[in-house]
Amino acid sequence: MKFRGKIMDVACLNHFTRVITTISKLTKMCVLRLTPDNLFFVLSGKVANGGVSMWCELSQENFFDEFQMEGVSPEDNEICLEVTPENLSRALKTVQNAKAVKLKLTKKHCPCLTIAAELPTLSSVSRIVTHDVPVDVIPRRLWHEFKEPSMPDFDVSIYLPPLKTMKNVVDRMKNLSNFLVMEANLNGEMNLKIDTDLVSVTTHFKDLGNPPWGDEASQDRGPSQIRDPDAMAQTRVDIRKLQQFLMGQQVNPSKAMCNIVHERVVHLILLHEDVSLQYFIPAVA
């Protein structure tokens, strides 16, 4: 098992740091899957984390100038590590002005992701700062838990309003209630609702547009084609989970959308060029 990567470009380093920071806002622990082409940050929906799951996909060649890896075996050419994204993010933030950053899987007292940054100097002697972030290597037999989640058979898919507006609204609603109902229809309308003993609040977004999901998505899913465009699909979620998702946004996505499976799950997707982030919030009764 070997892994080493090198980032030389400042813009790539900044971008990579922002992605990791976003992930660190969403979860304390997650799994980093390394393949020859991609990096995946995965959180599988366990009860312990409130059933929330996450899937973040990065293409290595968009970030790394050098990327070498050797998986556990030629057939399973992958490495699966449990990491604390907060630690990675903190280490990366301190080396933002580095000339080059190397990421390496090392064995010190325990397995570590070693971040070695070459900092600029005025003299000819180079300065290298090294961070060792401890990780756990996940054995092959547990890998099946960290596969890409399948696209849910959603009732409604809709583009999200500006995330900042949504964040403001959700922040205030959080002060008033623990739960929030998210509902949307195929007419480009989305509502956020709370209802308590003291107050009921509904925020109406309209003209958001519904993403076209191509033929393969709709073909075998006839019902979504003939669905009444005004009919709302709704899911009641833990407001903190949604707030967390909105709070962590460091990457300004080019596309943000949401799929709702009626009374089952809210599936949020952010796309930004080479990065995609999926976040699943389960329904609460």
Residue with tokens 């380093």: 13
For residues 89 and 177, which CB has a smaller minimum distance to another protein in the complex?
177
Asked if 240 and 248 count as a contact pair (C-beta separation under 8 A), the reply is no
| Residue closer to another protein, measured from CB, 127 or 172 | 172
175 near another protein, rule: CB under 8 A: yes
Of the candidate spans 45-53, 84-92, 160-168, 229-237, the one that interacts with another protein by CB under 8 A turns out to be 160-168
By CB under 8 A, which span of 19-27, 80-88, 96-104, 200-208 interacts with another protein? Answer: 200-208
Tell me the DSSP string of 105-154.
Answer: EEESSSEEEEEEEEE--SSSS-EEEEEEEE-EEPPGGGGGGGSPPPPP--
Report phi then psi at 244, rounded to 5: -55, -45
**Looking at beta carbons only, is 161 or 282 nearer to another protein?**
161
Kindly list the strands in the beta sheet with 179-184, ordered across the sheet, starting from the edge strand earlier in the chain: 190-195, 179-184, 233-238
Q: Which residue, 103 or 166, is less far from another protein as judged by CB?
A: 166
The interface region with another protein, picked from 28-36, 201-209, 251-259, 267-275 by CB under 8 A, is 201-209
CB of 157 to another protein, least distance (A): 20
Provide long-range contacts, Cβ within 8 A and 24+ apart, for 33-37. 33/78, 33/79, 33/80, 33/81, 33/146, 34/3, 34/69, 34/71, 34/78, 34/79, 34/80, 34/81, 35/69, 35/71, 35/77, 35/78, 36/60, 36/67, 36/69, 36/77, 37/61
C-alpha 140/C-alpha 81 separation (Å) is 11
The upper half-sphere exposure of residue 202, i.e. CA atoms within 13 Å in the direction of its Cβ, equals 7
Smallest separation (angstroms) from another protein to the CB of 196: 9
Least distance to another protein from the beta carbon of 65, Å?
Answer: 40
Q: Which of 41, 55, 205, 245 binds another protein (CB under 8 A)?
A: 205
Element (DSSP H or E) covering residue 32: strand 30-34
CB nearer to another protein: give 94 or 203.
Answer: 203
- Give the three-class secondary structure for 285: coil
Q: How far is the CB of 197 from another protein (least distance, A)?
A: 7
Q: Which is nearer to another protein, 5 or 161 (CB)?
A: 161
Nearer to another protein, 34 or 182 (CB): 182
Angle (nearest 5°) at CA 283 between 279 and 285: 160
C-alpha neighbours within 13 Å on the C-beta side of residue 285: 0
Which one among 103, 169, 270, 275 touches another protein, defined by CB under 8 A?
169
Q: How many residues bind another protein (CB under 8 A)?
A: 20
Considering only 8, 119, 129, 176, the residue that binds another protein (CB under 8 A) is 176
Applying CB under 8 A, which of residues 84, 94, 130, 203 lies at the interface with another protein? Answer: 203
**Shortest Å distance, C-beta 186 to another protein:** 19
Residue in 121, 165, 252, 254 binding another protein, rule: CB under 8 A: 165
Least distance to another protein, CB of residue 205, Å: 6
Which residues form the interface with another protein (CB under 8 A)? Answer: 161, 165, 168-169, 171-173, 175-176, 197-207
